[in-house]
Amino acid sequence: MSQTPPTTSRLAPHELWRGVHATAQSDAVGGALLLGATVVALLLANTPAADIYTAVRDFTVGPHALHLDLTIGEWAADGLLAIFFFVVGLELKEEFVAGKLRDPRQAALPIAAAFGGVAVPALVFAGIAISSDSEGALRGWAIPTATDIAFAVAVLAVVGRYLPPALRVFLLTLAIVDDLIAITIIAVVYTEGLQLQWLLLALVPLAAFAVLVQRGVITWWVLAPLGVLTWALVHASGIHATVAGVLLGFTVPVVATQRARVQSSTDEDGTPIYDGLTAYLADQWGVFTTLVAVPVFAFFSAGVTVGGLEGFRTAMQDPITLGIIAGLFLGKPIGITATTFLLSRLPAFQLDDSLRWPDIIGMGFVAGVGFTVSLLVGELAYGAASVAEEHVKIGVLLGSLVSALAGGGVLAMRSRAAKAAGAQPA
């Protein structure tokens, strides 16, 4: 008597991709990957494996003739982060054209809070740097001005399930504007020896990219070479190559048209629902940035060799380290909360009725998690593989850690109180 062999359940490739895609869209997953990459880098940099880690990070690869003979760490900072900033550019344009930043009245308060959250940390850092009379320290004034979207939103997702949805909208709007300010600072302040001819040449592939996406072309083997060429020419111009990612993202159309659209789903009657290309490309490339680009950058950027207790003590005496920690942990919440409080007293600015001041204070601390862009600015300010840059890493890691713990603690207490009051999970 024959028996039917048991069937094994296998996921089709598209089902597997759908599961990976859904997982990558989780705020907590992005933060967990960043945290994991950071912890591994720190462990490797402070164990006998440090020489191997450093050798891999500093290994040079790329064509010298095109000035692209970069280290692995530089490829992560200049190349992978350009893809991250491409997604940021897509999301920025989406928000300005059709999202939370479209209505100036609704976005005015978090936008103003973002500027306060940039100005005060910069002033705190500058005050410490100037009072210490340390030569060259002031160059890093922009390091504590950045907010890491992935980490900050991940903290909120973990501890704030019962908090008002308006708080997440406020944080996202603030972080988006913060990114735009950071991009501007990188392009204007940390550009040396601008080669105008290369920048003008970059406009050619950029324009070709823009024309194609406006006509609805999303074929990767057509767009990718133009994007890479734009990136390479911007890199050669002296402007940090991540700016190329933002420029490419800004060219993509937001509103779905007959030409520039992609089907996202169907309604109950089977009628196709179309989205603009920004939403589609951000959705597709967002997975890569979450799973690969940002964690790999963190892995190669966060590996600081502390040098034991003595090395840590030396770093904590450096005004650069102290300025970053104070800027992130104190400057960010003070700037955001004070700006929000003062402007909410004016008729033109209105705080959402569901939000309370402990929510804003906790969110202000969470915004002090300035990981990815802060590390990038630190490298641009002081140069890679310098003592100052090592102290930047210690300052960013410690400042971000204490900010996350303080903000997470405040918001966790608020979330527990809201749950006890009968609030539904977000």
For the chain, which residues score pLDDT lower than 50? 1-2, 7-9, 11
Q: What is the pLDDT of residue 324?
A: 96
How far is residue 99's CA from residue 178's CA, in Å, rounded to a whole number?
Answer: 16
18-421 under CATH 3.40.50.10800, yes or no: no
The answer to whether residues 199 and 240 touch, using CB atoms and an 8 Å cutoff, is no
Q: What is the pLDDT of residue 2?
A: 47
74, two tokens: 């530089």
Give residue-wise pLDDT tens across range 193-237.
778 899 999 999 999 999 999 988 888 899 999 999 999 999 988
241, two tokens: 């190559």
How far is residue 193's CA from residue 206's CA, in Å, rounded to a whole number?
Answer: 22
106, two tokens: 């609704």
Tell me if the pTM is above 0.85: no
How far is residue 109's CA from residue 338's CA, in Å, rounded to a whole number?
Answer: 12
Instruction: Break the chain into its structural domains and give their ranges.
Output: 18-421
How far is residue 162's CA from residue 28's CA, in Å, rounded to a whole number?
Answer: 15
212, two tokens: 């194609």
Q: What is the pLDDT of residue 224?
A: 94
Q: What is the pLDDT of residue 391?
A: 92
The answer to whether residues 202 and 234 touch, using CB atoms and an 8 Å cutoff, is yes
Give residue-wise pLDDT tens across range 289-306.
888 998 999 999 888 888
How far is residue 35's CA from residue 363's CA, in Å, rounded to a whole number?
Answer: 19
**3-state class (DSSP) for residue 402:** helix
Give residue-wise pLDDT tens across range 44-99.
999 999 999 999 999 999 888 777 889 999 999 889 989 988 988 898 888 888 87
